[in-house]
Each structure stands twice: as structure tokens, then as C-alpha cells.
Amino acid sequence: MNPAERQPDPLLVVRIVWGATAWSPVVFAAVAFLIAGGAGPADADSLRRIASGPVAVVLFVAGMAACAAGFRVNVDFSADSAESAQERIRRAMTPFMVRCALFDATGVLGLLVSILTGAPLLGVPFWLLALAGFAASFPKGGGR
């Protein structure tokens, strides 16, 4: 069989990459809860005190900025009439990977705030935002 005849659908390859990276916030959450051995401080006052500390505030701002920047990256997998599927995917791949990296950074910052404060519950907003970003970034477009 000629290798040129059996090329995988380029959009399917992008969806596989998306699927692999979209699970990262779930992995970060599991790691944070395993490291902490539970949810962290049980009373609301302790959690509020930790969340208002300078480290948590800086990480919250950085996480929200990374997530907002991810939503601002324009990724377009739609096809122009003269463009082949390979060209379309090639054109959209770099902004797509940048967008995924920014959502991944949001999840990493959630892991960092969880580890530094000892309160994994503080990472939940980061991970939910990252998952929402990945869900909104699902590569759509026509087939070949």
C-alpha cells in the first residue's frame, strides 16, 4: 500500500492532541488532593485566611490572566474553498497549541496554589476554568 494513500485525517490527529491535553486539569487535581491527603482546612475561616494571602492572590491573578489570554487566541479550523485539509490544520495548529498551553498553565497554577497553601480546594476554580477552556477549544471543522 502506498503511504500517500493511507494518510490519517489531520483533524483526527488534532483531536487526539486535544484529548491528551484536556485531561491535564483532572490529573493536576488528583495530584493536589493526593499530596495534601484530603481537602485541606475544613473550616471556612482558615480557608478564607489562606485564600486572601499574597501567594494565593498572585497565583489567582496569574491563573485568570492565563485563562483569559487562552480565550483570546483565535483558532479557526474552518476550511477556505481553495485550502486543503492539511493546509487548514497547519495554519491553525500553532494558535491551537498556544491556546492549549495557556489553559494548561491555568491548571498548573491551580496545582501550585494547592501545594503552596496546603488547600487543594483553592485549585478547583483553576481546574474548572481550564476544563471549560479545553471544552470550548474542541477542534471542529469539516473532514478532509
CA torsion, points 21, 26, 28, 34, in degrees to nearest 10? -150
C-alpha cell of 96?
491551537
Give pLDDT, residue 1: 52
At 79, is the secondary structure helix, strand, or coil?
coil
Q: Domain ranges for the chain, please list them.
A: 10-136
What are the distances in angstroms from CA 83 to CA 11, 77, 80, 95, 96? 14, 11, 5, 18, 18
Do the Cβ atoms of 116 and 53 come closer than 8 Å? no
Q: Which residues contact 125 (CB under 8 A, 6 or more apart)?
A: 60, 63, 110
69, amino acid identity = A
Residues ≥6 apart with Cβ < 8 Å to 24: 104, 107, 130
Render pLDDT for 101-124 as a digit per residue (tens, 0 to 9): 999 999 999 999 888 888 888 889
Segment-wise mean pLDDT, segments of 10 residues, the chain, 144 residues = 67 88 94 81 67 84 94 81 75 90 95 86 92 92 54
